[in-house]
A and B are shown apart, each in its own frame.
Chain A
Amino acid sequence: MLKRNASALALAASLLVPVAAQAEGIVGLITKTNTNPFFVKMKEGAEAKAKELGVELRSFAGKIDGDNESQVEAVENLIAAGAKGILITPNDSKAIVPSIAKAREAGLLVIALDTPLEPADAADATFATDNFKAGELIGEWAAATLGDKARDASIAMLDLNANEVSVDVLRDQGFLKGFGIDVKDDKDIGDEEDARIIGHDVTDGNEEGGRTAMENLLQKSGGEVDLVYTINEPAAAGAYEALKAVGKEKEVLIVSIDGGCPGVKNIKEGVIGATSMQFPLLMASMGVEAIVEFAKSGKKPENSEGLDFFNTGVELITDAPVDGIESQTADQGLEKCWG
């Protein structure tokens, strides 16, 4: 290491190029987009770890959600650049597979972050949040918090979009199972027959969508609602505005998933009851570590027990803890939130 650094310095001095460019190898990071704070944070985590380990990080992103072509291009560029490995959050977990196969043939270690490939073993490893577990946690917490009222609570389900992508399905179904509702087919949103569910509507994961969906479900139930599940915290903030407009914000419990800093602040102020925090920074930094390790020793990361991916963990954040469910306070959450 030392020797290499010294020669790198000499070379840098002679060529007037930055030291980082002379690091030990290239690690590629391909995110879905570069607009979502989740991915922005992921990139920060990867960059910090790359700097620490003395490797060069090259980041790419799709132009919009679902943009597969840009990601294919990025994979090709990274193969051509001689990268040691690739971290990718696939926009299209099926369509990207052939490109990933090429990268692995070329000797690169490919780790899917956040979203698994289909099939999951198309990548060498997957570092992700257990989204089903994340949903289950807030479902259990909600059931415990409502107590006896849980038996006849009206529940509004604010999902992502009409595509029913895996993260959307896992969170939705996890929540329902955690709450104690028979989910029937756990691959399908909306096939439940439990009368407590007012309905499912889509939010596109943003405030405006969250508000509109909440308004429509409130109309559908005739104003009756006790518990709101939201796919993420921006949707939760939108739902809160809709409830506030009809003066119901105090009596309705909102649960969510993500752990973004604005979301955790909303826990602290009672806007959201509980949220499941995920760790994009950790996913990325662990991913960089795994690739560096692979480059050195050829060792590949292993999956968590009982799962087909490596679980980067999920923590319940709430200021109203319940017995039997481990949780952290909003203040503790603020220290590790992202975005």
Chain B
Amino acid sequence: MVWSIAWRNIWRNKLRSIIMIAAITIGLFAGVFVMAFMQGLIEARIESATRTELAHLQIHVPEFLANNDIDLSISNSRELTEKIGTLDSVAAVSRRLIAEPFIMAAHGTGGGKLIGVEPEREKRVTDIWEHIIEGTYLEHESRMPPVVIGEQLAKRLRLKTGTRINMQMIDSNGNISLKGYRVSGIYRTNNSSYDESTMFVNFTDLQAQLGLNDNTAHEIAIRLEYSDQADAVKPAIQDLATNYNVQTWKELSPEMSMLTNSMDQYMYIFILIILLALCFGIINTMLMAVMERTKEIGMLMAVGMNKRRIFSMIILESAVLTIMGGILGIAVGTGVTKFFETHPINLSMFSEGLEGYGFASQVYTSLRTEALLIITLLVIITGVLSAVYPARKALKLNPAEATRTE
């Protein structure tokens, strides 16, 4: 009977209940959608960073990343690469040489990061070759070795495909080495600062300029079958690369990890605001419902309905309202989110700002089931807890006075 009365009480003031359910629905939809949007943004950034820039794991000589000394090289890179390639979870492995040259072009000079890659292997580890917007990916079209540069660098130095640039660096013997390269391709990623600083040449060309032997590399980049395996696979790779430093993409890019965490925090703050608004909405609605029914609640107390049942009745009303709004909100939120999982949200008007932080201007939403369960649970808990105050108010009524209320 408590259930029956609670259910019928909800529909006693239909408009008010519908408004409350709509508010919960909209609140929850907004929560689910924003969560999925932010998650999509983060996942796209992680995917972009691991797919285009970092790969899932990297091996270096300890201290190499701190000072980029070309002498801090992996001396048995060929054998190590072959061994790592045989591991189960590893999809592809690529060796890299890294230098920090001084770039000299006809219309300007500057610094940058030059990465020597084995093109065919690298294509399986990262996807820079898919981001070529002009020209080709490290293909010899002249006697001069090819270089692939980012769009931002091309703009800054006014470079086009076919333009020659000179790279000056210190080789392994400590001599200044100057070598000319021909721009074979220009790429564009979602990360404009990466595009402004990073260039790619053939492994052998950079090896020759630096005067290093064939078995030497500065970095071994590893792509796994699944990105979430990085922490699990790391020990097996470390066993093979005993003297070297094996790091996951999270360790290599702490700023991205921080960005992910801060996104999570913003998301929780947003959800907290939604829950607070929901909480006050429910308190207001249930308080009105209790005040309107003072006489009736007094009668229920008088005829023998105990406090536990009265408390349950009011909590149940709020819980049912919340669950109805919650189910609708989740249904609408999930539906809309699922649509945007395959139809990207176009944020091209903000692309400059977003790409400055490495975010794509087209975002696909991504909904995590556990996050959906958590927000559902939080909404229900909020609904129930918000009704505690109005329910306690009801319990404090004096039945003798309440039954005579006008």
A and B pair up: no
Tell me the A residues contacting B by CB distance below 8 Å: none
Tell me the B residues contacting A by CB distance below 8 Å: none
